[in-house]
Structure 1
Amino acid sequence: MIAYAEVIGDPIAQSKSPAIHGFWLRQLGIEADYRATRVEADGLGDFLARRRVDPEWRGCNVTMPHKQAIVAHLDRLDPLAEMIGAVNTVVAENGALVGYNTDAGGFLEPLARELAETHYFRMARVLGTGGAARAIIAALAREKFVIVLAGRDTGKAQALLDELDPAGEHHAVDLAHFAGPTDFAFDDREGCLDLIVNASPLGMRGQPPLAFDWSHAPPGAMAYDIVTDPVGTAFLAGARAAGHHTIDGLAMLIGQAALAFEKFFGVAPPRHLDAELRAILTT
C-alpha cells in the first residue's frame, strides 16, 4: 500500500486534478498516488467515514457539488475556509479531518505582482454567484476591492456580498446589465486596478456562452476566466480583442492545486515546470 490523495465530486471524470498531481509526484519521485473518485451527495458521509480510518489516505480535493455540504462532516475548519463557508481541500491531520479552501489563494496567485502595488482604487466586476464565486469574493474583499457582483438573481448576489463582506461597499447587479454595450465615460484609471472575472460556468464546453460587452471594461482592466474547458474561452478572446490583459482558468487551477499538494504530501510542487504541465493539460 502507498500513500494517496484524491479528488471527489459528481461528476468527476472531467477533472484535471489527477493529471496535475500525478505530474508533480512523478517529477519529485514521490511514491504516492492521486486519483479521482465519484462520490454522490448521499454518500459523502460514508465516504469520509471510510477514509478517516485509512492510514494511507492523505486527504482529498473537493469539487462540485460538495464544497459546502462537506463542511458538516469535518472536525474543524481553517479560518479562511470557515469565513468563505466552503471547502475544496480536506486533509487528514492526526486522526482529524480538517477543511481548507485553497481556491482563494489559487485565484490570487497570478495577480500577485499587481496586488503588491499600491492603488488609489481597486474594483472587480465578478460574473456569477455559484460555489466558485464564494472564494473569489472573499479573496477580493480581503485585498480591498470594491466588488460589483453580477448574477441572474440580484437578491442572491446581494445576500452573498452581505454574508462574505458585510462591511464592504459592494454592489449587486443583474448579469444582463453587462450583456449590451454602454457609452459610460470611464474616468482616468491610472493608479487603479480593475478586474473583470468570469466566476460562472458560462462559456464552458456544453454550457451557454457568457454575454459580456467589453465596453463595460475600464481601460487597462484585466480579464480573468476561471473556466478550464476550453482554456481559450470566447470571453478571453473578446478581452484580448479589446486590448485587455488576460488570465485563464489554468492559472487558478494549478495555483490552488499547488497549495493542496503541499498539504497532502509535505513538499512544494515543482512550479518551475508549469509550462510543461500546461502543455499536458491542453493536449
Structure 2
Amino acid sequence: MDDVVEHPSSALVAPGRLTIRGTTALAGVIGWPVAHSRSPLLHNFWLARYGIDGAYVPLPVAPGAFDVAVHGLRAAGFRGANVTIPHKEAAFAIADRLHRSAVRSGSVNTLVFAQDGTIEAHSTDGDGFVASLEAKGVDVARGPVLLLGAGGAARAVAASLLDRGMAVSVANRTTARAVALAEALSGDGSVPVSVIDWADWTDRLPGHALLVNTTSLGMHGGPGDVFTPDLSRAPDDMVVSDIVYVPRMTPLLTAAVARGLRVVDGTGMLLHQARLGFKCWFGVDPEVDADIQALFDADLAR
C-alpha cells in the first residue's frame, strides 16, 4: 500500500488442521481478551482457499506488554498483526511509519512488519467500509453522507468517504465529540465536515444520499435504550448502512427496510477490512464471496 509517511506449498493438510513449518508465513490478532475474535476464522479460510503456506493465530497480550509482544513477533518472523482493544493507541505509537489511512483516521488496526525491520501501521476500517458499499453496487460518489457517531470507527469511515470527495455531516449524542471529529478531519484542507445536533438528525435526512450508523445503538448487548429511528423523512433513494453486525438486521436497518430503502449490513465492512490486511501480509487480494459470508454467518449463529 502506498501513501506512507514517516512517523516518530499449502499448509492445509486436512479441513481444520494446519501444518506449520519453518517457511510458514505467520500473522495474527493482538488483543485482551482475544478469544472472541473471528479474524482467525476468516484469514485461515482464505489461506486454505489460495493454497498459501500460512497461519493466522489469536495473540492474547495483556495491557502493558504490547510493545514487548510486537517486537517479539517481528523478531520471530511474523508478517504482521491486527490490533484490537485495548491496544489501539499503543499500535499508533509503536509504528515507524504511518500509512495515510492511519493518519487520516487517527487509528490503527493493522501492523505490517517490513523486511527492513520497521513497522508500518494502517487503518483498514474506513476503506473496508467503502469496499463493502461498492460490493453491493452502491455509488459512493453520490453523497452527501449523514454519519451517526463520533468515535474511532466514525472517524475512519468519514476519512475514507471524504477522501473520495463525499460531503459528510456528523451527528453524535455528545455534540462536543462531533465537533472534535469535524475539526480533526477538516484541519488539513479537506472538505469541511458539518455537525448536526443529535435531536435534529432525522429532520435533516432530506438532502442526504447515505445514512451510516457507527454507534453501538442497536447492537446486541449494547446500550439499554431502545433505538427506534424515524426514517419517514428519508429520501426514497437513500442507502442506509450500519457497521453493527450483531444482529445483522439492526433496528436502523429494520426501519429502513420498512420504509422501502436499500440497506447494507455491517458484515461487509468486517470482511473487507480483513481482506485488506490479508493482502498486506500474504500478497493475495482474497475474494469476499458467498462462501466466506456463509462461513461467517454460520459462526454468528452458533
TM range (shorter): 0.7 to 0.9
Q: Which amino acid aligns with 1:262?
A: K
Match of 2:273 in 1: 256
> Counterpart of 1:171?
194
TM-score normalised over the length of structure 1: 0.87
1:133–1:5: structure 2 CA closer, same or farther, 3 Å change rule? same
Asked if the contact 1:214/1:242 (under 8 Å) is kept, the reply is yes
Distance across 2 between alignment mates of 1:138 and 1:223: 18
1:217 alignment counterpart: 234
Separation (CA, whole Å) in 1 of partners of 2:281 and 2:233: 41
Q: Does 1:139 pair with 2:156?
A: no
Task: Tell me the distance in 1 between the aligned counterparts of 2:286 and 2:217.
Answer: 31
| Contact persistence 2:97–2:119 (CA under 8 A) | yes
Q: Which residue of 2 aligns with 1:41?
A: 63
Kindly tell me the number of residue pairs found equivalent between the two proteins.
269
Return the offset for 1:12: 2.3
SS of residue matched to 1:150: strand
CA offsets per residue over residues 195-245 of structure 1, 9 Å max, x none? 110111222221024342212422211111111222222221111111111
**Aligned equivalents of 1:63, 1:150: Cα separation in 2:** 25
Normalized per residue, the structure richer in helix is: 1
2:118 alignment partner AA: A
Q: Partner residue of 1:126?
A: 147
Name the amino acid aligned to 1:213: D
Q: Which runs of 5+ in 2 are unaligned?
A: 1-20
CA contact (8 A) 1:67 1:131 kept: no
Q: Distance in 2 between matches of 1:203 and 1:237?
A: 10
Residue 294 of structure 2 is aligned to residue 279 of structure 1: yes
Match of 1:234 in 2: 251
For the Cα contact (< 8 Å) 1:226–1:249, is it kept in 2?
yes
Percent of residue pairs identical:
37
Instruction: Pick 1 or 2: higher relative contact order, CA cutoff 8 A, min separation 6.
Output: 1
How many angstroms apart in 2 are the aligned matches of 1:68 and 1:219? 40
> Distance in 2 between the 1:7 and 1:156 partners?
29
2:211 alignment partner AA: I
Q: SS where residue 171 of structure 2 aligns?
A: strand
1:155-170 matches, within 5 Å, as: 155-166=176-187, 167=189, 168-170=191-193
Paired residues of 2:74 and 2:80 also in contact (CA < 8 A): no
Consecutive unaligned residues of structure 1, counting only runs of 5 or more, are none
Judge conservation of contact 2:185–2:192 (CA < 8 Å) in 1: no
**Does 2:139 match 1:115?**
yes
- SS where residue 165 of structure 2 aligns? coil
Post-superposition shift, 1:278?
1.1
CA–CA distance in 2 between the matches of 1:100 and 1:185? 32
Is the CA contact 1:6–1:61 (under 8 Å) kept in the aligned structure 2?
A: yes
State the shift of 1:185 in Å: 9.2
User: Residue 6 of structure 2 corresponds to which residue in structure 1?
Assistant: none
**Per-residue CA distance 1:131-175 (angstroms, 9 max, x = gap):** 111110101111222222111211111111111123433322343
